[in-house]
Every structure is written in C-alpha cells, then in structure tokens.
Amino acid sequence: MATPAPPSLLRQCPEGICGGTLPYGTPKMATRRAVFLDRDGVINPLIYHRDAGIVDSPFTAGQFTLFPRVGRAIGLLNDLGLPVVVVSNQPGIAKRHFTAATFHLINAKLRAAITSAGARLDGIYYCLHHPESKVPSLRVRCACRKPRIGLLTRAARELGLDLERSYLVGDGLSDMEAGLRAGCRTIFIGKWKCEHCQFIRPRASRPAFQADNLWEAAHLIRSDLQARSARSAKPIEEAAACNVSFAGC
C-alpha cells in the first residue's frame, strides 16, 4: 500500500505534497533579503547507514542531531534581521527509507532544537518527490527538487523575499546550482574543487564563498553585508564632498 503524503503538508500545500510547514499568509512584496539553508550536511550531519552501505539523511529522529553552533549561527542571522528559510530535498519517504510519521518527528526535533537554542526559522520548505519513487504519489518530476528552484520561488512568493538579494548555503552541487539559477549569492559548505565546476550549470560557475560550517557561513554573510553597505555608502560620501566644494566656489 502506498505511504500517504504527510497530513500537515497535504493540508498546507495546494499541489498536495510539498511546501512550507509554517502557516501561509497572503503573498508579500518581494523586498526582503533572506538566507536559505539546505538541511542535511549544513544543519545536521549526514549519517552512515552501515546496513545499506550509504551516507544519507537521518532515517530516525534518534539519528538527527545539530552540528555544533548551528543554533548560534541561525541566531546571528536572526540578529542581522534576515529571514532564515530551510529548503531541502527529502526523498526518504519516496525511497521508503522512513515513514511520513518519522519525517514529522525529525522535523519536530529540528524545530525544537533551533527554538531551544534561542533562534528562529522563518520557513521550512521540503521537496518530498523523487523521479524513481517507490511511493507512486511521490513519483513526480517536479519543479521543486533542487537543482530546480521551485522551493526558492515558492518561499520568495509566500514570505516576500527577494531572491537576488538573498544567500543560499548548501553542501551539494544541486544546492549551488539552484542558488545560482535563482540569482542568490551561494555559500558552499566544504571544500570547493575545480572539478566541481564541470558538473554545474551554467558550466564553470562557482559559489561566491566556501565555508567549513554554518557558523563560519553566517559570519561570511555578516561581513559581506557590511562590505556591501560600505560600498553603497561611498558614492553618497563623494557626493557630499562634491557639494561642499561646489558650495565653496
């Protein structure tokens, strides 16, 4: 029998499967800069599933833990006034690695861990599909599985986010490709290698930054914003200086 799609996602998703797990509001003006986070490998470690011989997402809530300083990193982004939104491919139900109930337990553990660290997630968007899903209802060639940008465009529409002013942090090539396609500034968690460029489209594109972990990525974002505001302030200073000398003539 097919595993039914998780009930809370069905309730909130007009397409029936994927989407945010926060209440939807009316679409807002796309004006806000945000930070999009991949989940596995960025927020929580991947797990080596010895029986299957694969490295993958946690398959149980017990396997789900946060990387060190993730709560503080998200808190830092909160303090910068940036909405923080998780965008994650989660085909584990489709592959029958775990049930919808387990998926919800893991998501609840994520929320609780972030909240208890004094931080806030402004949205969580999951793609549950997979083109070779064992669950027929999830066997979809969808627009939301990264590197496609459906999760990002949907979050932008619903939360009023400006993708071209936003950042995307991920540890996979599909994250970088989705971020690049959406016009975000991308931060790769891990070591970016030249060989990666041949697998990414547009070919030879690369992330804007690389970082060892989310804590470092949050600091890079803070520095980048400071550098940008310094750059944008400069012409005003020059204009002011120009006016002074003009007034003195």
Q: Which does 145 bind (CB under 5 to 8 A by kind): Mg ion, Zn ion, none?
A: Zn ion
CB 244, min distance to Mg ion, A:
52
Question: Which one of 38, 122, 171, 175 is the catalytic residue?
Answer: 38
Contact predicate 65/92, CB 8 Å? no
Q: Which is nearer to Zn ion, 2 or 233 (CB)?
A: 2
Nearer to Zn ion, 126 or 209 (CB): 126
- Give the residue among 212, 221, 112 at the shortest CA–CA distance from 171: 212
58 binds, among Zn ion, Mg ion, none (CB under 5 to 8 A by kind): none
Q: Is 40 a catalytic residue?
A: yes
Give the one entry of Mg ion, Zn ion, none that residue 177 binds, where binding means its C-beta sits below a cut-off of 5 to 8 angstroms depending on kind. Answer: none
Known catalytic membership, residue 38: yes
Strands of the 84-89 sheet, one edge to the other: 19-20, 123-127, 84-89, 35-37, 167-170, 185-189, 209-211
Grouping H, G, I as helix, E, B as strand and the rest as coil, residue 144 is: coil
Structure tokens belonging to residue 229: 């505001």
Contacts of 224 (CB under 8 A, 6+ apart): 167, 185, 208, 209
First to last CA, the chain: 85
The least CB distance from residue 132 to Zn ion, in Å, is: 13
Characterise 38 by phi-psi region: left (phi > 0), alpha (psi -120 to 50), beta (else): beta
Distance CA 127, CA 38 (A): 11
Pick from Zn ion, Mg ion, none: which does 38 bind, CB < 5 to 8 A by kind? Mg ion
C-beta of 62: minimal distance to Zn ion in Å?
A: 26
Catalytic residue among 40, 122, 171, 175: 40
40 touching Mg ion, by CB under 5 A: yes
Of these, 75, 83, 172, 179, which contacts Mg ion (CB under 5 A)? 172
| CB of 81 vs Mg ion, minimal distance in Å | 26
CB nearer to Zn ion: give 135 or 221: 135
The binder of Mg ion chosen from 19, 41, 91, 150 (CB under 5 A): 41
Residue 129 binds what, of Zn ion, Mg ion, none (CB under 5 to 8 Å, by partner type)? Zn ion
**Nearer to Zn ion by C-beta: 84 or 127?**
127
Contact residues for Zn ion (CB under 5 A)? 18, 127, 129, 142, 144-145
Nearest-approach distance from CB 125 to Zn ion, in angstroms: 10
User: 107-114: long-range contacts (C-beta < 8 A, 24 or more apart)?
Assistant: 107/21, 108/61, 109/61, 109/64, 110/39, 110/43, 110/44, 110/64, 110/86, 113/66, 113/70, 113/71, 114/66, 114/70, 114/71, 114/74
* Closer residue to Mg ion in complex, CB, 39/185: 39
Distance CA 6, CA 21 (A): 11
| Catalytic sites, residue numbers | 38, 40
- Enumerate binding residues for Mg ion (CB under 5 A): 38, 40-41, 171-172
